[in-house]
Amino acid sequence: MIQKVTLPALGETVDVSTIERWVKQEGDAVARGDVLCEITTDKATLEVESYYTGTLLKILAPAGAELPVGALIAVIGEAGEEVPAEVLAEAEGQGRAAAPAPAAAPPAEPAPAPAAAAPPAATDAGALPEGLHQVTMPALGETVDVSTIERWVKQEGDAVAKGDVLCEITTDKATLEVESYFEGTLLKILAPAGAELPVGALIAVIGPAGAEVPAAGGAAPAPVAPAPATQAGASAAPIAPAAPTPAPVTAPTAGGRVFASPRARRRARDLGVALAGVAGTGPGGRIVEADVVKAAEAAHGVKASPLARKVAAAGGVDLATVRGTGPGGKVMRDDVVAAPAAAPAVRPGEVVPLSAMRRIVAERMALSKQTIPCYYLAIDVDMTDTACLRAKLNQRANGQPKLSFNDFLLKACGRALKQFPAVNSRWADGGIERRGVANVGLAVALEEGLMVPVVRDADAKDLRQIARETADLAQRARSKRLTPDEYQDGCMTLTNLGVFGIRDFIPVVNPGESCIMGVGVIQDRVVFRQGGIQVRKMMTITLAVDHRIVDGAVAAHFLETVRDLLESPQPLVKG
């Protein structure tokens, strides 16, 4: 599969870089993590590592070329694979920066995790003595402007090698590892676990063992307020000695909201801990994962059934205050239900601050409605044969992943995208870009919003591969463990509300894609078929389409093709 390598973003003030030399050459085998080339900015010389395994098929930027951030510099794929003409055309048409100038557009494919700690590009190079290196909060995508320090893997005084994991950070979409660009000793941690900081904020200093970090040696991070920040960037302030560890305080609230890191919330759900009763030790009393674990350990003294713990966590009930009626005073589910109700989490007229994920969803949906003129097509699909085939294949799974209806839909959409280049396109400045690949996103509902992991080359994968991949992507989407390349670059999206009994609905097109398909429930309906009345398993699918890109007749033919593939599904199994 063709993978594009683009010039990475290295800080807020770095908009162009120069290819210093290529470590790998065309035809060389490449493993994930291998150094491809060295690039030079106005502040540092850095190595560009590969996020893919394969062969370096084409170098598109020679040594000495000065390019804007996001410029296409190389292509990786299978040995002997031909580089598509549109990729070569993209490289020829992209703006080469003869003189340093800001890039005209963001990267087409932001680099995926694990995130490398950004070098000190956003601060004054002379802020620290020679030999000391600033570690800043990395940029993880166009829509990510703040991240939370989840935990420090390395501690002050630990030896650090290049590539070592320094800490884990959490964004609204994923929990990722931050690796070191430098070798030495972790001299100073400037952002404690739980701190929510903007991209580019200074989080640590690395240097020789025993070196002293000057009091005014760089920009200390200014924690972001619990409400999501609107702009990235850290204000400069002198490095100061770490403040004494704050005593645990009751978790801060704003209108009933408990402030806790995403990882802490996930751990609380797993352990059945009510966050409202947890004392937070993060900045400003924010709850971090360690606080949840401590609370769970303390709660082990309370005898309660697993179901009672889950109900208590969902209702915000402190088990220590519940009188158990089970054997030996054990707290049962009915005891939790009968416990006095806690104060309502939301009061009339209350304004609840937006989570980072909800803010981004709101921005992108508003952008879609404001800029994409849509029309909508609906069609009924007879899923009887697909349902029978799925049942037979799952009976013969033999330890392989069982197939869902979504797997058939993803495969059918991938095949149809390949047949209709006009649908497999996206709006670009000055024209319409043909995609070439058939990447289909699958909407996954989360507590805070939704994510759309992408099944790449859905047309070329068999149903078992798709089933395995969707199960893994959905699980990691719910635990926020997706890397950016796993939720970006989709050609269309599939969203299925059939599990809730929804018959049909009109979805909203994701900006950057041409259409989105809304899938309803599969139900027995009475239909007229082959000269008689029959009961068949029917499903309604609705396609929302960007009219700038695709005309109605083309989209109707596309939808008809998807229907035909689902009503006669054998080709989906064979190819």
d(CA 138, CA 480): 17
Helices (H), 4-106: 85-93
What is the 8-class DSSP label of residue 39?
Answer: E
Is residue 352 a contact partner of residue 363, using CB atoms and an 8 Å limit? no
Name the token pair of 535. Answer: 């009961």
Beta strands in 8-164 (DSSP E): 16-22, 29-30, 35-40, 45-49, 54-59, 66-68, 72-77, 115-116, 133-136, 146-152, 159-160
The rounded Cα 481 to chain-centroid distance in angstroms is 7
547 is known as an active-site residue: yes
d(CA 218, CA 191): 13
- Give residue 300's identity as a one-letter amino acid code: H
551 is known as an active-site residue: yes
> What are the CA-CA distances from residue 230 to residues 38, 197, 199, 374 (Å)?
33, 12, 11, 29
Q: Cα-atom radius of gyration of the chain, to the nearest Å?
A: 26
Among candidate residues 382, 485, 551, 557, the one labeled active-site is 551
- CB environment 60-97: b (16+ within 10 A), e (fewer): bbeeebbbbbbbbbbbbbeeeeeeeeebeebbeebeeb
Among candidate residues 485, 547, 557, 564, the one labeled active-site is 547
3-state secondary structure of 476: helix
In the block, tokens 């003294």 appear at 301
Burial of 433 from C-beta contacts in 10 A (0-12 / 13-18 / 19+): middle
Is residue 155 a contact partner of residue 186, using CB atoms and an 8 Å limit? yes
- CB environment 204-229: b (16+ within 10 A), e (fewer): bbbbeeebebeeebbbbbbbbebebb
d(CA 92, CA 77): 19
Would you please indicate which residues are annotated as catalytic (active-site) residues? 547, 551
